[in-house]
């Protein structure tokens, strides 16, 4: 308990104390982006750039890439596999659907241990039974579960060291994101925005699971910090009650933090995106509805909101702002890039939250004509907002066509940034939807939408497109179109490469400057996860999880029909060069 309080009250002071007995230290995690032998955090570094300095696999040698080993998750629990592997101390830690996690020997591909969380039958995940990854700290590997628990396991044995309930799964809470470690604090969010939960970010002692602070992400709710005895102490209301949420709907306001966060040691801030406000019917909740569909910059040691930027005020289209905020250097300053579900790419001062630039990264956007760079607000197109059902027959509002579709111009699949090229590599999707509003009332554990929809493709030849985006100019430097939606993440390397997967089952490598395809491999099922790379014994490896699923086959409407031939699976593939270079 003494260690916990020291973290809370003194910020950085206790870190040396924790580090003495830790296998994975704070310093290792803060420098993870430069560590070529391990992958110690989601995002291949807490900043989330997904860039590796390794060069053995490059534009000239990538054609020689062959499988080193493959590991099957087994069983009947195939569904969507969105996990990013963690590489540490000769082991791979990889999560799988239905709240499972495996430890695998890096050299042989042999299973070292498996932990399978016992889930209740009544779990209510909105968008498949996925898990996106784990965190490592000390000798622990930590991940969230579909029944809204955090589980910490011994890295060597897989035995439970601590387990904490985060919230009530029967109310719609779940956890799908990889936890974040920042300044010695375990920081997590929650999923469940479609069930009227209240989003929040929490900080815990990673060695014990004890709660240090909580910060709600819906205006009007109280934040808390916790004393040495675990007693809650009020740490201020988020925003101002009823200022942007008239009435009572802020009490079930959504804004879930379901994708987790990033942390930048340069600014000392953690960044979390927030999801849609609840319900979807925006006419029930006039106002901006802070802090939904936003990016929040938090103090990792206290949870205090340092700045916030809202990308879709009074969201009516389910344009979650939960996408990752990736920090990078440009023109001598520290910025963050965010490819939002609403179709606009935002460049924001990472220290102050001041908007620098915003531009489309998809071809069709109907809800707004652009972003006002002075105010930071979108220029709404009023006619393209779904109408109020109470103005008609009371049962259904008028149907409008909106683009992007609610699954977003970019969804959970993380983008990558290369300091070598100065470009972001964004897995984008071109689709639209017919959407209308309906009456709705909150019921605990029930879907809380107040809208109906049908997703439709916009083009005959493609839906997905990997795009190289210049954050300075807003230009698309190159694109690679894909027939099915892109739902897997991206990685880029100093070898001049960009790696990404497709639902058709391919892991691909393309030239980072031109987009020219240089290599591909059929993994046997759709790739909806991000690849990673590391070196061991002078050999560079690349890994990716394969297993079709996620939100598209569940929510995709006419798009889902176009990809219903894709097979499910569950495995991780590891590659290396066929000959030593």
Task: Cite the active site residues.
Answer: 318
CA angle 322, 150, 122 (to 5 degrees): 85
Strand pairing class (305-310; 100-105): unpaired
Task: Kindly calculate the radius of gyration of the chain based on its CA atoms and give it in whole angstroms.
Answer: 22
Left if phi > 0, otherwise alpha if psi is -120 to 50, otherwise beta: which for 310?
Answer: beta
Cβ-based neighbour number of residue 441 at 10 Å: 10
Element (H, E) at 436: strand 431-437
Give the Cα separation of 236 and 225 in Å (integer): 10
User: Residue 341 burial by CB count (10 A; 0-12/13-18/19+): exposed, middle or buried?
Assistant: buried
Give the Cα separation of 24 and 20 in Å (integer): 10
Tell me if the bond preceding 291 is cis, omega within 30° of 0.
yes
CA 247, distance to chain mean position in Å, is: 31
User: Residue 271 burial by CB count (10 A; 0-12/13-18/19+): exposed, middle or buried?
Assistant: buried
How many CA within 13 A on the CB side of residue 273? 28
Edge to edge, the sheet with strand 140-144 lists 135-137, 140-144, 149-154, 160-165
3-class secondary structure per residue, 234-280: EEEECCCCCCCCCCCHHHHCECCCCCCEEEECCCCEEEEECCCECCC
The CA–CA distances, whole Å, from 455 to 400, 434, 533, 559 equal 12, 7, 35, 6
Edge to edge, the sheet with strand 400-402 lists 400-402, 431-437, 451-457
The CA–CA distances, whole Å, from 103 to 3, 206, 335 equal 29, 19, 36
Number of H helices, E strands in the chain: 5, 40
For 54-77, letters b (16+ CB in 10 Å) and e give bbbbbbebbeebeebbebebeeeb
Give the Cα separation of 103 and 488 in Å (integer): 22
Say if CB 313 and CB 367 are below 8 A apart. Answer: no
């Amino acid at each position: 308990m003494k260690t916990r309080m020291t973290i809370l009250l003194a910020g950085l002071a206790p870190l040396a104390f924790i580090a003495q007995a830790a296998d994975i230290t704070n310093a290792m995690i803060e420098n993870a982006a430069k560590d070529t032998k391990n992958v110690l955090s989601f995002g291949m570094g807490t900043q989330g750039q997904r860039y590796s300095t390794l060069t053995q696999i490059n534009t000239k040698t990538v054609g020689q890439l062959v499988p080193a080993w493959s590991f099957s998750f087994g069983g009947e629990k195939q569904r969507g596999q969105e996990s990013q592997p963690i590489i540490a101390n000769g082991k791979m830690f990889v999560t799988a659907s239905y709240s499972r996690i495996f430890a695998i020997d890096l050299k042989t591909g042999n299973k070292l241990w498996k932990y399978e969380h016992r889930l209740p039958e009544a779990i209510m995940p909105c968008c498949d039974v996925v898990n996106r990854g784990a965190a490592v700290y000390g000798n622990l590997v930590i991940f969230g579960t579909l029944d809204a628990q955090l589980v910490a396991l011994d890295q060597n044995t897989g035995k439970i060291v601590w387990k904490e309930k985060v919230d009530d799964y029967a109310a719609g809470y779940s956890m799908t994101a990889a936890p974040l470690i920042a300044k010695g604090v375990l920081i997590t969010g929650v999923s469940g925005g479609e069930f009227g939960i209240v989003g929040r970010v929490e900080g815990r002692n990673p060695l014990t699971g004890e709660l240090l602070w909580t910060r709600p992400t819906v205006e009007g709710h109280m934040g808390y910090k916790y004393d040495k005895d675990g007693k809650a102490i009020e740490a201020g209301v988020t925003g101002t009650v009823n200022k942007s949420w008239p009435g009572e709907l802020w009490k079930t306001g959504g804004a879930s933090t379901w994708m987790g966060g990033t942390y930048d040691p340069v600014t000392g801030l953690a960044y979390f995106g927030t999801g849609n406000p609840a319900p979807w019917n925006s006419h029930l909740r006039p106002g901006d509805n802070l802090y939904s569909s936003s990016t929040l910059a938090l103090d990792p040691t206290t949870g205090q909101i340092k700045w916030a930027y809202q990308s879709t005020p009074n969201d009516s289209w389910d344009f979650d702002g939960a996408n990752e905020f990736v920090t990078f250097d440009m023109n001598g300053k520290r910025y963050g890039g965010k490819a939002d579900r609403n179709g606009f790419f935002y460049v924001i001062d990472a220290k102050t939250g001041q908007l620098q630039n915003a531009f489309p990264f998809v071809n069709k956007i109907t809800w707004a004509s652009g972003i006002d760079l002075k105010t930071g607000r979108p220029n709404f197109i009023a006619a393209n907002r779904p109408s109020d059902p109470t103005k008609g027959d009371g049962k259904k509002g008028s149907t409008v066509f909106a683009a992007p579709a609610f699954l977003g111009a970019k969804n959970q699949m993380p983008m990558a940034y290369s300091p070598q090229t100065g470009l972001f590599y964004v897995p984008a999707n071109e689709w639209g939807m017919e959407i209308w509003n309906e009456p709705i009332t909150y019921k605990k554990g029930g879907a809380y939408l107040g809208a109906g929809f049908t997703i439709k493709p916009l083009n005959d030849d493609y839906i997905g497109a990997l795009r190289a985006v210049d954050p300075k100019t807003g230009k698309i430097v190159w694109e690679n179109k894909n027939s099915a939606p892109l739902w897997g993440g991206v990685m880029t390397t100093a070898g001049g490469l960009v790696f990404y997967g497709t639902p058709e089952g391919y892991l691909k490598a393309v030239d980072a400057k031109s987009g020219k395809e240089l290599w591909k491999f059929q993994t046997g099922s759709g790739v909806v996860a991000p690849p990673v790379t590391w070196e061991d014994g002078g050999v560079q490896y690349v890994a990716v999880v394969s297993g079709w699923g996620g939100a598209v086959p569940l929510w995709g409407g006419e798009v889902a029909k176009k990809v219903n031939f894709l097979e499910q699976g569950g495995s991780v593939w590891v590659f290396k060069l066929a000959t030593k270079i």
